[in-house]
Structure 1
Amino acid sequence: MTSNLFKRFLQLSPRFQFHAAPNARLFATAPSPTVRSPYRHLRTLALGGSLALTAYTLGAIYPHPYITFIAPRPAPGPPRDPDSPESIAYTTALEQSLQTLPLLTSLRNQPDAHEWYETRPYANYPDQVRVNNLTAGALRGPGKLALPPLVRARRDESEAVVILHVGRGLCGHDGIIHGGLLATILDESLARTTKAVQQMMGDPEAAKSTPVLLSEGMPPPPPKA
């Protein structure tokens, strides 16, 4: 009876302009809890594991180039004997690749190519000096500094391009050339430029300085007036 009186009050009251549906329950009880499958989390875990395994397998078979910088694939070491037929074939193939580099071909075909000279430092370095030199001796060989550098420089020494091969045996982290070696190459390349400029200016101390990387093959100093 109380429920019927409350319905009539709602219908007659001007503040409540809605009608209760016939046989509607005014006070609904809480919804019954949803029963979840006990295997729901197991299915999610299995799906995630399958996706992860598939991604790992595809990444191992077809790695992105950036991934190989972080985790390069294992590679065989270079030939140990620099005079073996295998080493000679190795360096010969590298030399052919160097001579056909697009950059080098472009430099040789520039309109001002006659204003440049080309040299191969350390190609004729004396053995008695080479044996106690880091970049010309200890680091020379297949898998390291296998070829003499190739230098193209302007005759006025205002610009130079140095091309050299650095092998995988000179890595710090596998696949990444050791930073100290790169700093050494940069240091000695700049030393060559400094020495060449001093020599062109007629500085007598330039001829007395100790030969450094890439210093061999520079043009002779200008004749004194």
Structure 2
Amino acid sequence: MSFFIKKIESQKCEKLAEDIDKIFPLEKDIKKAISKTPREIFVPIGFKHLAYKLDALPISANQWISSPLTVAKMTQYLIPEGADSVLEIGCGSGYQAAILSQLFRRVFSVERVEKLVSEAKKRFKELDLININVRYSDGLLGWREFSPYDRILFSASITNIPETIFEQLSSNKGILVAPIQKDNRQIITRFIKNGNFIKKEELEECLFVPTKKGTV
């Protein structure tokens, strides 16, 4: 029975990757990561039947797990190839970090809601994802001890990137991707850092929960 269940999960993951790829063509490694990550583990029991739909879903602490399509886009815009470490601001359910763990050697994720940190750690242990490090802290402070990071990803919207976060981004073509709040819109924005110069690229509109200060 256990093998059968795992086989069904695998088929659902693969179909999800195919559904995303039809809308947003995926790089091979990213498509593979999505096809190997069981999203149902990251959603509440009452929503498991919707886990492989292209929809955002509510999770604990009045937060949301992003649409798998959005997760795929954010991951691909990050350009993981050739990068070693990534910092995620806003771990949430842990689904985005689980995808990143298959593309980066070291994943660091900061979450301000203690309950979400505990739940994410349990999921990572269940999936044997040993290269993800999760910290209960104010995400806007980053995680300076292990910086600089080759990549930084915001999993919640923000108006302006704090200078302390840019300081933790590698100055050797480091890439940061974030949903930037601009007037009444949110725009996925990519920042590329070379030395002291930062190039900004606006990619597409999106919808995320806002980044908040402090911990709860």
Under TM normalisation by the shorter chain, which class is it? under 0.3
Question: Larger % of strand: which?
Answer: 2
Structure of greater Rg: 1
TM-score normalised to structure 1 length: 0.26
TM-score normalised to structure 2 length: 0.27
Question: Larger % of helix: which?
Answer: 1
